[in-house]
């Protein structure tokens, strides 16, 4: 048994199995991956890591699971599985998380696929699972939605999101993500079909949750400046890796690294180390060196066009990109960004009112009905040297 | 100069004039009027008073005003007036505030009218205003909306609401009212025509404000149980006053009391003292004594019917009341409640985007558009002894 | 089962027995006794009540008890008793607590004696205890120190003090009482002989506790101005009760009231009601009316002499009082105050270090050794009209 | 003008000069030096940086300075200098701060010397200072104690310590460092002779400050495990640098790097990059590789002997080290640590009581008198593989 002191939830108690897991190198690696990637460039306090977020998610899974266990919905064995799954849910995160992941999504490798790979093949984890007779298949089932309790770990309103909204709020200082956590946990449950069940009298806690999430997307996760740096780092990372170690863009190589244990030092620090190596290497192209310095000295790209809407985007970014190019801005100084962000799946929410289930459609006084299902963001960033010119061209 | 330590904002500094005002009996009276009336019966921590709320509102008016002064929008004299107006904005509150005020609204006396009366005629205030050459007329202008800065003190997004949302959140423990205060103040301004002006990039702070307010209405201010007790106390108060001192339902008498200084002990404590007197008086009808005991021992009325909607109410309460009566429930054990609560006046919000004003209509990505303009609540409460019977009748 | 939402600890869950207890009139009375008596006259936010403090103490007894139960130190039955004892520990508090209690201590009636009386003889409590077969004797044993776990409820470091330091900190805004609560609970235990047992590595959490307490004594509980108002109220209360209802200074009458259930309305509100009655009664002496007004309008007595020391007081107050009288200040406008406040009983603290007990004497690096055992306060207050004169006389 | 959002103090406003400073590469470097070095290995949340701490210190210098300016003690020009000095006070911190600095202290290079060097010779800073006609000499005077206001920036109770106690508390979750900040700032002032001046009535805020600091030393800064990792990293760093780039142990080389601007990438990330390089370099000795892996996987050295005392250390560590060696533990697996930590300089504290200055000696009721002047820590750590053996040998 071990206790870790968490700055959000206080003491978090782990049993022997869980202690061995967090002490393993592949879990310690999460100490070196920041939770909010480059958000610290705007909110200097946001330096917290996937390590503490994983512990926090674990803690909340215990709180939520305990309640389900008391109601006879899950067994104590299932609770143990849920604990393990939440503890390990981020084990496959890439260095700088979503800043780098898109490069791998193109290769059909997501952090979830990498997670499953690690859970199946990391040497130390394997030994630990064997020692404690953990059925790895069941953990993977939970991740892959095949288990009735998958939605505790992965759904609109899961313990992962609960933890990160609060944690990111605290570390950024942005109050918007402050949840009414006690009430939320008290008020929601999970159905076997992946539904979120909420007591009618607790609807506002759930509204508060979704709106906090929406606001944190706007104020932090898709913040104009932060996102610009993430795109920039991605661009730099690609070039650097192609120079130093192109095998890292080979998914079989990555998977082999999992097996061989060398992946455990592939983290934010690794990225920085490659940037520093590139800076001091005579062979690095000057242009790349300049980009690295810009990144380190906080001279990132800037937005010259933006559209944020709950509807569809109306402006095709490619046209604007072409226009900028036509007027002389080099293509590799232009960074278009477009994403459709899912906010809420209303069909999955069931409201429990006096013993009966209602869907949102049947309710006449909830904000949940008017929360947008998606938010669409379209932006064009350009290298900071071309900002004024680009704004002129587009105005 | 005086410093008062506030549990929300820290030290609050008052100049000599303001110090004399808060030291006057009519202001000290606010120490004996709870900010959230009977909310403490559900949230035991909610015992805070109009006194600390008035200081907090004063503090925020200084913060907001300072910003407007720095932008050259108001002068330092105007700032002083705004400070005074915010300090005194609640000076006319009735004992137990909105629990008792409706009895006086029927007599065309609101807390705002009483406030103006006090500011014009309270003896000590008069002396203080004279000593410091305060132009009382200008304060009244601000209150009555004739001044361009009235909306700082009284509008959808005024310093009054900012303070109470945060303060009530802290004392109830309900996180829902937690504002992103620093950002909100940084992002809004006030137009001469009573408009709220908000920078486009700060829209989410304003959304957060409105939604916090909506949620606090639901979780606290119109909470089922709390409202039941407020209606019950109103019912008891009416009977007690009619027995002990019916002159208090004479508005000229009330106004005369302001003049004579006897109003300064008309507060929550006064109400309790009348309840206690009635309890120990042989002449008090048994039924009234029982109601008082029920109130003190927390056996209040309970809801047997409820409709909460952003649209119109669909069920006429009178029909249900008649039905209950018909089936034998005494009329004076039935307490219908109906209210249309204004949430947001969207026409007053102007969004400032790159130097141009937009109305909400022109924006495609803000929750403000889908916040309901009104929330309608219809409820029937019955005395706790008749709850089961009433529920049977209505089911 | 019932859940109450506490602004400090979040949801507090009570079983059926405990729910009935808090719903009884004698417990609801605690809603009408402020936790920090008149501290709100300096810290406007300090309006919280014995009711919420009792719930908080109950909650912490569960947290501490759970840990002892897991270590096999207490049984689940004992835990239940500890819960009940902590819930009821303040049930015998006087109106305005320590402001009024000294008048009764002279009559050999303390809040602890009154508590035992109520627990034995309050009608509703009796019924509840019978229904649930509660052995009242065992509760009284805990209170009276005859039980090995009495010190959880009543010792230097008990759950009562833990709750009020945090709660009073939050409501006054004074950070000084902020405990490192999680660690403290994690680090201390209770010995059968009434000792506080602390792990050596957690010593600083215990130091933090004692020093927080000492600081809160200075900043709040014995604050110059607050204490002045408490003495003043005591003085007024005595005169008012002697006029209206001298039987209340008869301890048998008080005990009879417990039996008859009339004590349940003897609370802060009752005091206010008597003040208001006295104010509007032609028979009240003018001087008393003036004092009541001074109290209500916050014109209390002021300190003209003060000595605070960890050693013995060096100035005999009686001499100063005589001097003031000799120079013409009326005796009943002079309020001397002297108290020796116990801070820490070092002989009761055992430090557990690698399985062995040490006493503080054996340790070379703890502040506990230099925390004063007592703090002595001597003060003379005079009516605010005589302040300048009194200061001249004494200077 | 620029606003940065700080998770502790809210918006921090910088003027143009200050904005240019924080945007310069040598200041951005502070984003890559963690405030509490390796504390995150015990308190996972403690990932915050010297960058946000520098901003926070700057903010507090403005708060404290404003008060001094209002009292006519400093001019607005002096306030500007104090702001600049506080903003830049940590600009010379080494990678991993106090974990690495001792290696340089042996070479007579401290972070303060490096700071002065950077302020005098960093190219971009020089340009900025010239553009805004900043008199660099005056900043250096403040740092070097030659200015009457040096103690605001560097004394027992300076804005540096105020910021880090609160900030480190928030990020570790350890409540012990929570200051009564508003009161502290309200209560202290600075004398021309480097004295801390405190109002007698505010003594407890100052006590609270010193004790918080003492507790944070014990719970965080000199925490057994954390310190072990810092010693271990120092040991590894030494070996790695000797292999890769021994010129970094040449102080003239370091100073030259300041001039040439290459120091701006010498930070925590640089250290990690060197560890990663060493790991993947065939020439790195196996033993060093093992140590690096131990460090990264959190298998650090453990304490086998400890003495913490407010008096002198009684056990000579060398003897224990010899004994361990004699019994076969390799010398380079043994890490003795000894430090005398200054807590308080009581001669510098002046208490202001009714217009007169007292020294602590004259007061009979303050904890400040019994706070130890020093705390001495002696410890022996050994590589985790030898822990059991070492404990046997020493027992």
Q: How would DSSP label each residue in A260-286?
A: HTGGGG-SHHHHHHHHHHHHT-TTS-H
- Give Cα separations from A342 to A210, A374, B203, D240 (angstroms): 11, 5, 20, 47
Residue that is written with structure tokens 């496959």 in the block: A92
For residue C173, what are its two tokens? 């805004």
Q: Closest Cα partner for D82 from D165, D25, D158?
A: D158
Cβ–Cβ gap B173/C298 under 8 Å: no
H/E element, A198: strand A196-199
D358 min Cα distance to partner chain C (Å) = 15
Chosen for mutation from B162, B165, B204 (greatest number of chain A CBs closer than 10 Å) is B204
Decide if D284 contacts D278 (C-beta within 8 A).
Answer: yes
> For chain D, how far is it from start to end, CA to CA, in angstroms?
62
Tokens linked to D373? 């002047």
Q: Which of A176-190, C228-242, D37-51 is predicted with the least confidence, judged by mean pLDDT?
A: A176-190
Which pairing describes strands C374-382 and C334-342: parallel, antiparallel, or unpaired?
Answer: antiparallel
CB contact at 8 A, A163 and A56: yes
Rounded to the nearest 5°, which phi and psi values hold at D212? -60, -40
Residues C181, D174: C-beta atoms closer than 8 Å:
no
pLDDT digits (tens, 9 = 90+) for A286-342: 999 999 999 999 999 999 999 999 999 999 999 999 999 999 999 999 999 999 999
Residue C178: predicted pLDDT: 73
What gap in Å lies between CA A179 and CA A177, rounded to an integer? 6
Buried b (16+ CB within 10 A) or exposed e, A263-299: bbbbbbbbbbbbbbbbbeeeebeeebeebbebbbbbb
Please state, in angstroms and rounded to a whole number, the distance separating the CA atoms of residues D361 and D165: 27
Closest by alpha carbon to B62, among B131, B12, B115, B121? Answer: B12
Q: Tell me the pLDDT band of D353, cut-offs 50, 70 and 90.
A: confident
Cα–Cα distance, B140 to C94 (Å, whole number): 44
Q: Which two tokens stand for residue C370?
A: 């230099």
On the question of pLDDT at D176 being above 90, the answer is no
State mean pLDDT over D334-361: 91
> Which residue in C170, C204, C312 has the most chain D C-beta atoms within 10 A of its own C-beta, making it the best mutation to test that interface?
C204
Residue segments in chain B with a per-residue pLDDT below the cut of 70: none
The shortest C-alpha distance from B200 to chain D (Å) reads 17
For residue C337, the model assigns a pLDDT of 97
Q: Is the pLDDT of residue C370 over 90?
A: no
pLDDT at A137: 95
What's the pLDDT score for residue A7?
86
List % helix, strand, coil for chain D (3-state, nearest 5).
Answer: 60, 15, 25
In B, residues 154-183, which contact C (CB 8 Å cutoff)? 170-174
How high does pLDDT run on average in chain D?
93
The DSSP code sequence of C294-348 is: HHHTT---EEEEEEEESS---S-HHHHHHHHHHTT--GGGEEEEEEEEE---GGG
Residue listed under structure tokens 């705007």:
A42
Cβ atoms of A28 and A4 within 8 Å: the answer is: no
Distance from the Cα of A174 to chain B's closest Cα (Å) equals 7
Conformational region of residue D96, where left means phi above 0, alpha means psi within -120 to 50, and beta covers everything else: left
Interface check D339 vs C, CB under 8 A: no
- Of the ranges A35-49, C194-208, D89-103, D338-352, which one carries the lowest mean pLDDT score? C194-208
Q: Identify the pLDDT of residue C201.
A: 84
Residues of C with CB below 8 A from D364's CB?
308-311
Say what the pLDDT of residue B179 is. Answer: 75
How much is the average pLDDT of D44-59? 96
Q: Look-up: residue for tokens 């209770």?
A: C190
A224 has a pLDDT exceeding 80: yes
CATH 2.160.10.10 at B301-395, yes or no: no
**C11 at the A interface (CB within 8 A)?**
yes
Contact criterion met (CB < 8 Å) for C45 and B10? no
Q: Each residue of A106-131: pLDDT tens digit? A: 999 999 999 999 999 999 999 999 99
pLDDT at C388: 95
The answer to which of A30-34, A199-203, A214-218, C138-142 has the lowest mean pLDDT is A199-203
Determine the distance in angstroms separating the CA of A131 from the nearest CA of chain C, rounded to an integer: 26
Q: What are the strands of the beta sheet with C334-342, ordered from one edge?
A: C302-309, C374-382, C334-342
Give pLDDT, residue C34. Answer: 97
Two structure tokens written together for A115: 């997670």
Contacts of C339 in chain D (CB under 8 A): none
Substitution target in B2, B6, B8, B11 with the highest count of D β-carbons within 10 Å is B11
**CA pair distance B194, B208, nearest whole angstrom:** 21
Domain extent listing, chain C:
1-297, 301-395
pLDDT band at C180 (very low <50, low <70, confident <90, very high): confident
Q: Does C10 touch chain B (CB under 8 A)?
A: yes
Integer Cα distance of C56 and C64 in angstroms: 12
Beta strands A349-353 and A196-199, pairing class: parallel
Size of the A and D interface in Cβ pairs below 8 Å: 123
| pLDDT tens sequence across D186-212 | 889 888 778 899 998 888 889 989 998
**pLDDT score recorded for residue C263:** 92
Give the list of residues 6+ apart from residue B95 with CB closer than 8 angstroms, or none: B33, B266, B267, B268, B270, B271
- CA–CA gap between residue C39 and residue C44 (Å, rounded): 8
Out of A154-163, A265-274, D168-177, D235-244, pick the least confident.
D168-177
Q: Does residue D136 carry a pLDDT above 80?
A: yes
Kindly state the average pLDDT of the residues C228-251: 96
Two tokens, residue D256: 């030259």
Q: Which residues of B touch D182 (CB under 8 A)?
A: 5, 10-11
- Show residues of chain B in contact with C47, CB under 8 Å: 34, 47-49
How far is the C-alpha of B152 from the C-alpha of B78, rounded, in Å? Answer: 12
Query: pLDDT tier at D149 (50, 70, 90 boundaries)?
Result: confident
The CATH class of C1-297 is mainly alpha
* Euclidean distance between CA atoms B208 and B181, whole angstroms: 10
Ramachandran category for residue B307: left, alpha or beta (phi over 0 → left; psi -120 to 50 → alpha): beta
Beta strands in chain B (DSSP E): 2-6, 10-14, 188-190, 196-199, 302-309, 334-342, 349-353, 356-359, 374-382
Smallest Cβ distance to B204: which of A205, A218, A364?
A: A218
Average per-residue pLDDT in chain C? 93
B7/C272 CB distance under 8 A? no
Cα–Cα distance between B101 and A165 in angstroms, integer?
A: 40
C91 beta partners: none
Q: Greatest CA separation found in chain C? A: 72
Q: What are phi and psi of C45, to 5 degrees?
A: -80, -10
**pLDDT score recorded for residue B136:** 95
- Distances from the Cα of C143 to the Cα of A165, B38, B135, C139, angstroms: 45, 33, 61, 6
């Amino acid at each position: 048994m071990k206790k870790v002191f968490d700055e959000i939830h206080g003491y978090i108690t782990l049993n022997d199995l869980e202690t061995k897991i967090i002490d393993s190198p592949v879990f310690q690696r999460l100490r070196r991956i920041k939770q909010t990637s480059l958000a610290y460039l705007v909110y200097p306090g946001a330096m917290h890591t996937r390590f503490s977020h994983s512990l926090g998610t674990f803690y909340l899974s215990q709180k939520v699971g305990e309640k389900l266990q008391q109601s006879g919905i899950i067994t104590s064995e299932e609770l143990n599985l849920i604990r393990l799954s939440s503890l390990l849910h981020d084990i496959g995160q890439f260095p700088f998380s979503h800043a780098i992941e898109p490069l791998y999504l193109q290769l059909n490798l997501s952090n979830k696929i990498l997670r499953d790979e690690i859970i199946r093949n990391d040497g130390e984890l394997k030994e630990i699972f064997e020692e404690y007779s953990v059925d790895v298949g069941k953990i993977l089932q939970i991740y892959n939605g095949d288990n009735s309790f998958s939605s505790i770990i992965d759904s609109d309103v899961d313990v992962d999101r609960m933890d990160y909204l609060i944690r990111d709020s605290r570390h950024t200082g942005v109050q918007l993500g402050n949840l009414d956590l006690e009430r939320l946990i008290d008020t929601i449950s999970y159905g076997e079909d992946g539904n979120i069940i909420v007591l009618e009298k607790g609807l506002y806690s759930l509204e508060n949750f979704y709106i906090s999430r929406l606001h944190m997307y706007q104020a932090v996760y898709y913040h104009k400046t932060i996102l610009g740096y993430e795109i920039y780092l991605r661009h730099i990372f690609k070039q650097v890796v192609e120079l130093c170690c192109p095998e890292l863009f080979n998914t079989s190589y990555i998977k082999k690294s999992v097996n061989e244990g060398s992946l455990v030092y592939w983290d934010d620090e690794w990225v920085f180390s490659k940037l520093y190596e590139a800076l001091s290497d005579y062979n690095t192209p000057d242009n790349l060196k300049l980009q690295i310095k810009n990144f380190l000295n906080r001279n990132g790209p800037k937005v010259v066009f933006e559209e944020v809407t709950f509807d569809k985007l109306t402006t095709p970014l490619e046209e604007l990109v072409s226009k900028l190019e036509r007027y002389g801005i080099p293509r590799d100084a232009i960074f278009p960004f477009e994403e459709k962000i899912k906010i809420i799946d209303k069909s999955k929410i069931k409201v429990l009112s006096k013993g009966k289930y209602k869907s949102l459609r049947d309710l006449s006084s909830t904000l949940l009905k008017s929360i947008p299902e998606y938010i669409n963001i379209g932006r064009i960033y350009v290298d900071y040297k071309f900002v004024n010119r680009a704004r002129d061209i587009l105005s």
